[in-house]
């Protein structure tokens, strides 16, 4: 898909992913979204540099988590780009959508304050462009396994034997149910 991720060790990787910011770069004619500390980069096939900057900001404002680095929103933009590369209709929708954002105040939307950016987004919130970006973001942002630890979601469990021995009933507060309400687990 065009993603290159470079990292030294896992903890440093996670730290960068959680906190790092990104920038859009053009090298050899290819548009990339690049982690500013060089830890990762994503090459885009269809969306141009201005579109990439705009969508990176738009996806974050749609689902803002301050604790998340740009990496996660960049992945959403990369997904949209993949679709745009395969569908002329999507490519046009995204391109025209970015233009609509820029037309609101006759100035690149990316240069507006956060409050004004949100106001423009509210205005176009019934548009197919908004719906497309929202639908893509709400699915692919939270469907990213590298993001799950930030929310303490543990993901797939069958390969670890489920949660039977990994804290399924380890609640540290509340009433303990009696044995009739909650019988003991079978452990063989």
Partner 1 sequence: MAKYDLNDDHVVVIVGSGAGGGTLANELCQQGIDVVLLEAGQRQGPDTFVNDEWASFAQLAWLDNRTTSGSWRVARDFPNLPAWICKTVGGSTTHWAGASLRFQEHEFKARTTYGAIDGANLLDWPVTLAEMEPFYDRAEKKMRVTRTNGYPGLPGNNNFRVMYTGAKRLGYKTVHTGRMAINSTPSDDGRSSCHQAGFCFQGCKFGAKWSTLYTEIPAAEETGRLDLRPGAQALKIEHDASGKVTGVLYADEKGDQHLQKARVVCVAGNSIESPRLLLNSASSMFPDGLGNSSGQVGRNYMRHTTGSIYATFEKPVFMFRGTTMAGIIQDEAHHDPKRGFAGGYELETLSLGLPFMAAFLDPGAWGREFTRKMDQYSHMAGMWIVGEDMPRETNRVTLNSDVKDRFGLPVANVHFDDHENDERMRSHAFRQGSEVYRAAGALEVYEVPPYPSTHNLGSNRMSAEAKDGVVNRHGQSWDVKNLFVSDGSQFTTGATENPTLTIVALAIRQAEFIRDSMAKNEI
> Which of 7/148 has CB closer to partner 1?
148
Work out the angle at residue 183's Cα, subtended by the Cα atoms of residues 179 and 188, and round it to the nearest 5 degrees: 140
67 SS3 class: coil
Min separation Cβ 50 and partner 1, Å: 23
Q: Give the binding site for partner 1 (CB under 8 A).
A: 61-65, 67, 118, 134, 138-139, 141-143, 148, 151-159, 161-164, 166-177, 180-186, 188
d(CA 116, CA 139) in angstroms, rounded, equals: 26
Indicate the burial class of 72 (C-beta count within 10 angstroms; 0-12, 13-18, 19 or more): buried
- Cβ atoms 56, 22 nearer than 8 A: yes
- Cβ atoms 19, 70 nearer than 8 A: no
Min separation Cβ 6 and partner 1, Å: 26
> Which of 9/156 has CB closer to partner 1?
156
> Which of 8/173 has CB closer to partner 1?
173
Min separation Cβ 41 and partner 1, Å: 25
Min separation Cβ 59 and partner 1, Å: 10
Q: What are phi and psi of 180, to 5 degrees?
A: -70, -45
> Which of 38/131 has CB closer to partner 1?
131
> Which of 52/141 has CB closer to partner 1?
141
- Cβ atoms 117, 61 nearer than 8 A: yes
Min separation Cβ 25 and partner 1, Å: 28
């Amino acid at each position: 898909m065009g993603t290159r991720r470079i990292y030294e060790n896992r903890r440093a990787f996670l730290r960068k992913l959680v906190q790092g910011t990104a920038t859009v770069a053009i090298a050899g004619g290819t548009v990339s979204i690049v982690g500013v500390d060089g830890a990762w980069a994503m090459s885009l096939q269809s969306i141009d540099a201005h579109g990439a900057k705009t969508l990176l900001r738009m996806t974050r404002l749609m689902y803002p988590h301050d604790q998340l680095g740009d990496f996660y929103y960049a992945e959403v933009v990369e997904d949209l780009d993949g679709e745009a590369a395969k569908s002329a209709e999507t490519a046009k929708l995204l391109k025209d959508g970015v233009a609509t954002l820029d037309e609101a105040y006759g100035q690149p939307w990316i240069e507006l304050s956060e409050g004004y950016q949100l106001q423009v987004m509210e205005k176009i919130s019934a548009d197919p462009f908004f719906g497309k970006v929202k639908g893509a973001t709400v699915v692919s942002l939270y469907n990213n396994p590298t993001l799950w630890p930030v929310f303490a979601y543990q993901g797939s469990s069958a390969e670890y034997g489920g949660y039977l021995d990994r804290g399924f009933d380890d609640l540290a507060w509340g009433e303990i149910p009696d044995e009739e309400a909650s019988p003991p687990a079978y452990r063989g």
